[in-house]
Structure 1
Amino acid sequence: MNEITEDIFDENKIKKAIKKGKRKTIITIVIVSVIVFFVLNVVNFAAYTYFSQKAFKQWDAYVRLSTPNGYISETVDTKGILGGESQYKVSKDMKIKSIVIEKKQYQFGLNPSFSISRGAGGNIGITGEDWQVTYKENGWRDLMFFHPNITYKKYKNDGHLINQMEGDRIYEVALSFDKPYKQNELPIFELPETTWFWINTYSDKQIKTFKTEAEEHDWTSTFISEKEALGFSTTSTIFSTVSLEYEYNDFLSLLKTSLSQEHRNAYNTVKDIKVDNIDILGIVIYGTADEIADIIEKPFIKAASLGGVIDNY
Structure 2
Amino acid sequence: MKLSRTVRVGSRSSPLALAQTEEILSLLRARFVDVRFDVVRLSTRGDRNATAVLTSLGRGAFVKDIELALLDSEIDFAVHSAKDVGPDIPDGLRILPAGERQDARDVLVSKTGLALMSLPAESRLGTGSPRRKAQIKAIRPDVEVLPVRGNVGTRLEKARGADYDGVVIAAAGLARLGRLSEATEFLDVEQVTPDVGQGTLVAEFREGDEEMGAMLSSIVFEDTSCAFRAERAFLDAIGGGCTKPVAAYGEIDGRRLRMFCMAATPDGERIVRSQSVGDVSEAEEIGRRAAKTLLESGASEFVQGG
- If the length of structure 2 is used for normalisation, what is the TM-score? 0.27
- If the length of structure 1 is used for normalisation, what is the TM-score? 0.27
* Greater relative contact order (CA < 8 Å, ≥ 6 in sequence): 1
